[in-house]
Amino acid sequence: MSDIPDETTFGEVVDLFCGVGSLSHGLKRAGFNILAGYDIDARCKYAFETNNHARFFVHDIADLTAKEVSAHFTGEGYSILAGCAPCQPFSTYRHRYKKEDPKWSLVGVFGRLAAEIQSDFVTMENVPALVKYEGGKVFDDFCDALQNAGYLIEWTIAKCEQFGIPQRRRRLVLIAAKHARPGSLKPHGEKTPTVRRAIGHLNPIKAGMSDPDDPLHMSASLTDINLTRIRESKQGGTWRDWPEAMRAECHKRNTGKTYAGVYGRMSWDEPSPTMTTQCFRFGSGRFGHPDQDRAISLREAALLQSFPKDYEFLPGGERHSFVEIGRWIGNAVPVRLAEEIGSLIAGMKTVQAPLERANAGL
């Protein structure tokens, strides 16, 4: 794709399955130039372009060609192909209840494109369950496609709270390089980030209300019974703390007794649970605010995903949808994790050229 760039140039990124641009934004914060993003959801265009100053293309990745992607790279610095294929097919829930999902093939599409494009780097982020999905075949085939195309690969399961992200989230991070063996992400060893540090500064709001100065700081309304339940809930507690009469019918069945975290409050001084596409719903997980009687707001969910507070999801004046923005936030790559990936790639500038010469016998 490009020769080994000197240390004064910036790398260039094309982002597949880009969504609202969180992976790109983290790479941008690490110093890379975002050229383009591709996604099938046209509604992501505003957020991707506004926050990353790059072109957004509405396109089914399954129909994308290597020639279309390669045309974006100018040769000014490293070329990086980045992406996060839809991860729902590999989730524990989907794997248990829905054995076949056509989206799994998008990982293979990504691998094929990467092999054909021959960018200097490829990075993929996904759920850890991908490694074992279908007996490991999907992930192994992806790695084989890259290795057969001349890439060296390093992958790890990152614990997000070890990288400054105030959330207990596990993510598969893969980095492939053409010119050197890539490094792996190293935890910082810093003090564990907390919910308090992430959202404790926001104005208090009530269930069903929003902050007049920040339309994204909006909380879903609660039914009377759920308002009563959250008032009975303790930080880090469970629905078992409630009086028997308040418990949901599903909790009384054997299949529901093990799901203690649903209808729970977060703890101020711990990381949050994993943000999901339903993180704005009190009954969908431990998504109750630590001390306000409501579920977390969309802004709080975004901050827990390490989006900057000024990240724009929709144009000013446009109505915010819990379902739509919740899906964008829950599916996002944590921005801080993406920045760590970018910093790791950027740090390889000092070792690639010597290794390339050594491999050539010079």
Q: Is the pLDDT of residue 239 over 80?
A: no
CA separation, residue 153 to residues 96, 124, 149, 356 (Å)? 30, 11, 11, 16
Q: Do domains 12-189+333-352 and 195-331 have the same CATH topology?
A: no
Compute the half-sphere exposure of residue 301: CA atoms within 13 Å on the CB side of its CA: 34
For the stretch 246-302, pLDDT in tens is 777 666 665 555 556 678 999 999 999 999 999 999 999 999 999 999 999 999 999
Instruction: Dump strand ranges (E) for the chain.
Output: 12-16, 33-39, 55-58, 79-83, 121-126, 152-159, 170-177, 210-211, 214-218
**pLDDT for the residue 7:** 43
Q: In percent, how much of the chain has pLDDT > 90?
A: 71
52-56, 97-101, 267-271: least confidently modelled range: 97-101
Of 162, 61, 59, give the one whose Cα is nearest residue 114.
61
Query: Is it the case that residue 352 has pLDDT exceeding 60?
Result: no
pLDDT, position 249: 65
Count CB neighbours of 212 within 10 A: 9
At residue 9, does pLDDT exceed 80? no
pLDDT of residue 180: 87
Phi/psi for 38 (5° steps) reads: -120, 135
Structure confidence at residue 236 (pLDDT): 87
pLDDT for 153 beyond 50: yes
**pLDDT on residue 257:** 53
Overall average pLDDT of the 347-354 stretch = 55
Would you say residue 5 has pLDDT above 70?
no
Q: Two tokens at 75?
A: 């040769």
Phi-psi region of 144 (alpha: psi -120 to 50; beta: other; left: phi over 0): alpha
Active site residue 87: yes
Q: Which of 194, 195, 217 is nearest to 206 (CA)?
A: 217
- Give the separation between CA 24 and CA 127, rounded to whole angstroms: 18
Contact (Cβ atoms closer than 8 angstroms) between residue 1 and residue 118: yes
Q: What number is the average pLDDT over the span 162-170?
A: 96
Asked if the model's pLDDT at residue 124 lies above 90, the reply is yes
Residue 206 above 60 pLDDT? yes
What CATH number belongs to 12-189+333-352? 3.40.50.150
Q: Per residue in 12-42, pLDDT tens?
A: 999 999 999 999 999 999 999 999 999 999 9
- Could you name the CATH architecture of 195-331? Alpha-Beta Complex (3.90)
- Give, in degrees to the nearest 5, the angle at Cα 94 between 184 and 277: 75
Give domain limits for the chain. Answer: 12-189+333-352, 195-331
**For residues 130-148, average pLDDT:** 94
- Which pLDDT belongs to residue 193? 95
**pLDDT band at 217; cut points 50, 70, 90:** very high
Write down the catalytic residue from 18, 44, 87, 143. Answer: 87
What's the confidence (pLDDT) of residue 15? 98
Q: Which of 56-70, 126-140, 322-336 has the lowest mean pLDDT?
A: 126-140
pLDDT band at 357 (very low <50, low <70, confident <90, very high): very low
Model confidence, pTM: 0.88
